[in-house]
Structure 1
């Protein structure tokens, strides 16, 4: 039976296919999360997805405090085409509790929200839409996104094959003598789970920061600030020092880290994207090579 024609004279199934190609492939439209419509996202989906015979992989590009989520989606789009990847760029807006708070997603909990669970719900949603399995994925985050990326790794290591942690202003060390967010002493009480160090060792980890990323005005915690707690600044004065402290915390626990101090680079996430792409390309080659050898 032929398709029913719509008012333009084109079959409905052809119109649906054209709409899908226009809005669901390439740089997509912005979608509201089905799980919680307060949290939208966009994607880059290669137009030839699923036609190469190689399983597509997912890379999540998490925005920073400025919420420039489409910029990171677009920055990784060429990589996605060449490496058969879907890029997911979520948006966790400022002030979802009505209070103008900028930092909720960085610390994983805000009111009754768990931001790691919000991301996993979006991943499940796009897996269903594109009929793909993303049991594990890559995650990149820079600045505020670097906060999110390393804390997501602490809470959900079994969902990642790789993580790139870019220039977080503050870090959570694997320190059982200090409370969250500075350390991990009470993580079980807050999140219902303890850090799974063995699972974290199975995740490829990159830490990346510009060598000229030395300003401290935004990252120095002071008494009375919403995120203030004892030892809030003890990991270092600036972002390179704090990221190095996080690296040392990881390596002391047997977690391997690729540490990239990018020369002549200030606090600019788009400038480190080529270094991050190099990391993801190497890890994708390992992942796919192991799959073929199995």
Structure 2
């Protein structure tokens, strides 16, 4: 017997599934997001996992959604791409989200509200998720991972212009000495060790005009340029700070790639696919073995 297709079903297929439309966040409608939701979500082989992708200064959030659509379809994942607009406080600031905190805004909390909203909408457990960001998004995910490692199963930090090192001798944002005073949350190295950490940058990503901090600049502080002059150098400094803390890191330097995040997507997806395979294997391993009542 055929089940009639209702208008609600049609609307869900058009606007909620596949390359879904753009939604305002329920917790703060100044912020919005787009998604890719596999159309087979109701009959998927695996429970859905969530992959969050944070745009850079250019806000190419839809382009990143589209670039990850096939990955999500074949790996039973929902992709969430938030939009943190320029000038939310009316001042034209392009960079607030990168620092996690802008005035009274906490961009980490805004993202977590979106994650909870999507989990409730689709009936999924997204208590832990994957996180990737490139350029300005790389700054965000670097700092988000330090603040909320318990919410992540993997993080991929792409070509950040500035990095927050695991350096207890320097204040935020260069280091983490006063992180608890700044954000009300202490650094949890043990939780960070449970996260699969990836870093990626193009070998030809060598321009410095946008990332060199000048005295008197918006985010200048002592040590702002000490991690290196280029993005590859700064990412290597970040990697070393993680390794010194006992955290494993996979660093990919993509040959012949300048500062172009979409050219790094394949490399990121390779890492995510492997991390996802390991995560699902670990989940299966924790489940009780089937019991044979005849034994």
Tell me the TM-score range normalised by the shorter chain: over 0.9
Match of 2:293 in 1: none
Distance 2:166 2:128 in 1: 23
Partner of 2:77: 85
Residue in structure 2 matched with residue 44 of structure 1 by the alignment:
36
Question: Deviation above 6 Å: which 4+ runs of structure 1?
Answer: none
Q: Say which of 159, 170, 173 aligns to 1:181.
A: 173
For 2:10, the equivalent position in structure 1 comes to: 18
Q: State the shift of 1:224 in Å.
A: 1.3
Distance 2:45 2:266 in 1: 26
- Selected match of 2:45 from 32, 40, 53: 53
Q: Tell me what 2:242 maps to.
A: 250
Q: Which residue of 2 aligns with 1:64?
A: 56
* 101, 124, 132: which one aligns with 1:132: 124
2:275 corresponds to 1:287: no
Instruction: Please tell me the root mean square deviation across aligned C-alpha atoms, in Å.
Output: 1.1
Compute the TM-score of the two structures, normalised by the length of structure 1. 0.95
Give the CA deviation at 1:37. Answer: 0.3
1:275 aligned partner: 267
Look up the match of 2:229. Answer: 237
Distance 1:292 1:128 in 2: 24
Give ranges in structure 1 of 5+ residues lacking alignment: 1-10
The 2-side partners of 1:77 and 1:139 are apart by 15
How many Å separate the matches in 2 of 1:101 and 1:109?
A: 12
Question: Could you tell me which residue of structure 1 aligns to residue 289 of structure 2?
Answer: none
Q: Which runs of 5+ in 2 are unaligned?
A: 287-295
- Residue 258 of structure 2 is matched in structure 1 by 266
Distance 1:169 1:81 in 2: 31
Q: Match of 1:5?
A: none
Paired with 2:75 and 2:25, the residues of 1 have a C-alpha distance of 26
